[in-house]
């Protein structure tokens, strides 16, 4: 049986002074993505609190990586006002890059 989803991770460095920095040196965003449409089914990240991780998942769910990453980044800029904003954006760009490298080129 062929899985209908793929698992992708994007990474970025955390800046000092963030709660997650005490546990991790990098911020990681993971996403389960529909293979056919590129839609994010579920997502996770290494932010420090359950609340923050859940909020980011809700922000990302439903977006299609086939449409690029700019709309998702705009959502983060409009709705996330924590110290990790730049790290989240960088990790999202890396996530999208990984999607393009490992999925779009495999068609």
**Secondary structure (3-state) at 44:** strand
Q: What per-residue confidence (pLDDT) applies to 63?
A: 97
Q: Which residue has the tokens 């793929």?
A: 6
Total-model pTM: 0.86
> pLDDT grade, residue 22 (50/70/90)?
very low
What DSSP letter does each residue of 9-42 carry, written as one string? EEEEEPPTT-GGGGT-SEEEEEEEEETTT-BEEE
Q: What per-residue confidence (pLDDT) applies to 25?
A: 80
Q: What is the pLDDT of residues 38-55, one digit of tens each?
A: 999 999 999 989 999 999
> pLDDT grade, residue 87 (50/70/90)?
very high
Task: List CB contacts of 98: < 8 A, sequence separation 6 or more.
Answer: 8, 9, 10
Q: What is the pLDDT of residues 56-66, one digit of tens each?
A: 999 999 999 99
């Amino acid at each position: 049986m062929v899985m209908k989803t793929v698992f992708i991770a994007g990474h970025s460095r955390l800046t000092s002074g963030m709660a997650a920095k005490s546990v991790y040196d990098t911020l990681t965003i993971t996403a389960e993505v529909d293979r056919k449409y590129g839609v994010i089914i579920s997502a996770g990240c290494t932010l420090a609190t359950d609340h923050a991780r859940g909020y980011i998942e809700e922000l990302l769910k439903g977006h299609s990586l086939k449409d690029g990453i700019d709309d998702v980044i705009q959502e983060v800029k409009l709705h996330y006002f924590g110290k990790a904003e730049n790290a989240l954006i960088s990790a999202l760009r890396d996530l999208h890059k990984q999607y393009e490298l490992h999925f779009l080129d495999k068609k």
